[in-house]
Structure 1
């Protein structure tokens, strides 16, 4: 059996350890798989993803209550398939041992850099983009020659079970395994002695994962979240900007870790911008509750949390506007985009990552004011700037620090295989995608090759005049 189903709490640790030990044994039997083996695993993963695409879309939609198949195609399937294609195309070069520069004083010796698999990689993936955030890291880990163990979110049980079955059908128990279960299983999972652990989820849970991994000195990549700002800068086209911002904000109904969490707008343009947002919302989603293109909020608890955030903002004096004629649909768990005007810093809408179709609007008089606001909080996972003033753009980019940036649009930096994707500070640590994923799951080993005629014997004891002269020469020319 190549996958582990949910087990009762007393059996979790034993069952997980047995699955982990199977992967460890597979790695020990083949510590440095060659190019052909790695390509075969990537091809099998592509075959699996392609074959399960319709079932994946149906399972994810059922887990959410409703999510358009097109969103799964755009955000879960296509990025994984493109990532697989990119990895296969570049894998030979990534694996190549590189000759590195060697200082004159160490010649005729020479340096090389080897990239070696780490061993067994653990991946904890969330419910919001369950295909992308489980299989994106997995393809990077497989490309790097590792064995992989995935724990998907229990909030998406249908997709998790589908993934468990499909991985079991396409990979051996010593190659890649999916384990499914609740929070107890999750806690036991992150306590395993992985060679690297990647977690995608909330900052609060990420801290717990880092603490659990630290007990084993397991290095971690944490892809978290936070309050990602959008800035409407000088020269921004309000209609185009509003359309792109609404499209990014409402993809997956805002249940996206890099969705714009609030927007800063020049004070004199706030009303015009809100009007443009309203037009964009109605253009993209003429209806909400019955619209097959609009995603439901994934759980009743999360839906009620969003409504409570809006109620609290109203009660504390903010102006809350629905940008659609329709109100919230309790039956469908669908919520149209709401903007919050004049939010105060102490409100939860300005303290918590919203993860839904709520967009606070901050008015500013000078872009420096917005820069100070961003820098006063935790470093965000994403930042978005809209405008045509190159000097202002560079000022914003250089005086803030975010995990990644898209200029004059939202979200699209996550799809670039030639760029790293990762957080900074409270929004995460480490990065993957493309070669950065390969390197994250590899040990870059420096190797120095000494030459038979090396003069280092002159530095051996007993120390005397020759040693002093040679060490002085090394300091001058090294």
Structure 2
């Protein structure tokens, strides 16, 4: 494998010099060809996602496949503008010069994608890289093998290997790839692995985008209808069985609202995910990716005791590959459920007396990828957004901030660095290069040595700086 990996990389290093010269028309043609391939293989994509995560076809369509169609269309529509020169104003030191910026491809890029949304989180950075004019090596997760095989087929049918290739393997392949001097690395995954990626990137000073995770809190105010909040939170938490990086991770709410919220959450869960037999329906509810993660979730619940928390409600479930929707009330902050990213259908609730109590909890934790606020009180919303940092904020809904390609998607500090989607994805694989063309009537010589008798010129310059 090592010789083959090096060979592919070397060929892409050569090809990158041609790719950087590609026109907007040529890149759009590649994006259109990619979408055509996806449409042709759509049923196979849905089947792969069903086999890996047991995603319902409609869920896979909305959260994975149609999402990518939309991103491709958005890139095609705006790519010409993104690639155009962006003219900039002159300064006193280059008064007559022409100034502009222009995006150029960073070069050969490595994309390491995760298993939870294995199609979307592979194709989204890939199409951004193609739009930017980069050569790409994609390594999807080995934990979603059926989708990985489909990704490999799609890429093989759409691109020559020296432009885009998909390599399948485990962490040994990832380690081998990270030893290569990629110009740019795009990683989606956990903060712990993100640190390893960042360390590897530093060896070659590679450009780096990290889309990580963290504990995304939800704050619920008394002014917002509990039934509506519970329904939205249940959908956002239980879609893909909670295996979503921006899923609501824990709830902070006034203590007296907890019983009513639990009742409404249970109703919402049953309406969306139950079958006629009053159990979670395996045809509507995704499975946990593997036994290791299933055991991890069981252990999180197993750590509860009278001192730190109790189960408030748990769904009925007969399927052995799934984990029940679970609401837990935490009595203190020593539980693993409030320390670790859950990445599953367990939703802890922490009651508070004052908003400052809730804000202190968020402020004393690493900055989350998303922050959710349910309130109809503008002052309440403002006080939270000003007090707490996060990658994104969504008010009176969940998850939907990721669906707008006009918004950047990304974390901050432990929840990530850099952004993706739309222009921000294009930018992640591009270098914004400053360009200046001096006029033949340049006045720069006025500041050349010798400096005697130039006090008036320098005083004049100082007044503009």
- TM class by shorter chain equals over 0.9
Query: Once the 2 structures are TM-superposed, how far is the Cα of residue 438 of structure 1 from its aligned partner?
Result: 1.2
Where does residue 475 of structure 1 map in the other structure?
Answer: 462
| Structure 2 segments unaligned to the other structure (5+ residues) | none
Aligned partner of residue 219 in structure 2, secondary structure? strand
Q: Could you tell me whether the CA contact under 8 Å between 2:252 and 2:352 is conserved in 1?
A: yes
Secondary structure, counterpart of 1:247 in structure 2: helix
Q: Hey, what does 2:52 align to over in structure 1?
A: 63
- In structure 1, the residue matched to 2:333 is 345
CA contact (8 A) 2:370 2:390 kept: yes
Structure 1 stretch 285-294 or stretch 131-140: which is displaced more? Answer: 285-294
Structure 1 unaligned runs (5+)?
1-10
Contact residue 34 and residue 158 of structure 2 kept, 8 A: yes
CA distance in 1, matches of 2:331, 2:156: 49
Give 1:424 deviation, angstroms.
0.4
Which of 68, 87, 93 does residue 80 from structure 1 map onto?
A: 68
> 2: distance between equivalents of 1:20 and 1:131?
23
CA-to-partner distance for each residue in 1:430-471, whole Å, 9 max, x for gaps? 0011111111111111112211111211211222122x3212
Which secondary structure does the structure 2 equivalent of 1:58 belong to? helix
d(CA) in 2 for partners of 1:56, 1:243? 29
User: Scaled by the length of structure 2, what TM-score is found?
Assistant: 0.97
Which whole-Å CA distance do the structure 1 matches of 2:19 and 2:340 have between them? 45
* TM-score normalised by length of structure 1: 0.94
What secondary structure is seen at the aligned counterpart in 2 of 1:379? coil
Q: 1:308 aligns with which of 263, 278, 299?
A: 299
| 2-structure distance, mates of 1:233, 1:321 | 20
Runs of 4+ in structure 1 deviating by more than 4 angstroms, as ranges, are none
Q: Give the distance between the partners of 1:385 and 1:437, measured in 2 at CA.
A: 26
Contact 1:313 1:343 in 2 (8 A): no
- Give the 3-state SS of the residue equivalent to 2:47 in structure 1: helix
Aligned residues: 462
Partner of 1:3: none
1:197 aligned to 185, 192, 202, which one? 185
What is residue 115 of structure 1 aligned with on the other side? 103
Aligned runs of 1:45-194 on 2, under 5 Å? Answer: 45-64=34-53, 66-194=54-182
Name 2:13's counterpart in structure 1: 24
Given the superposition, is the C-alpha separation of residues 310 and 316 from structure 1 closer, same or farther in structure 2, using an over 3 Å criterion?
Answer: farther
Task: Tell which deviates more after alignment, 80-89 or 107-116.
Answer: 107-116
Q: Quote the Cα distance in structure 2 between the aligned partners of 1:231 and 1:137.
A: 31
Aligned to 1:322: 313
Do the aligned partners of 2:253 and 2:351 also contact (CA within 8 Å) in 1? yes
Aligned counterpart, 1:252: 240
- Kept after mapping to 1: 8 A contact 2:183/2:206: yes
State the partner residue of 1:436.
424
Cα displacement (A) at 1:106: 2.2
Distance 1:345 1:39 in 2: 51
| TM-aligned CA deviation for residue 315 of structure 1 | 6.4
- Structure 2: distance between partners of 1:377 and 1:450: 51
1: CA distance, partners of 2:222 / 2:263 = 18
**Aligned equivalents of 1:100 and 1:391: distance in 2?**
38
Q: Which moved more, 1:88-97 or 1:392-401?
A: 392-401
What displacement does 1:251 show?
0.5
Equivalent positions of 1:148-297 (< 5 A) are 148-287=136-275, 288-297=279-288
Over the aligned positions, Cα root-mean-square deviation in angstroms equals 1.4
State the Cα deviation string for residues 18-68 of structure 1 (Å, max 9, x = none).
Answer: 11112222112342210111001101111122122111111122122x221
Rounded to whole Å, the distance in 2 between the matches of 1:29 and 1:237 is 57
Mean CA deviation greater in 174-183 or 331-340: 331-340
Give secondary structure in 2 for the equivalent of 1:370.
Answer: helix
Q: 3-state DSSP class of the match of 1:230?
A: strand
Shift of 1:314: 3.5
Alpha-carbon displacement from aligned partner over 1:328-358 (angstroms, at most 9, x marks no partner): x4x5311221111124322111111000000
In the alignment, the residues of structure 2 paired with residue 415 and residue 150 of structure 1 have an alpha-carbon distance, to the nearest angstrom, of 23
Distance 1:159 1:265 in 2: 39
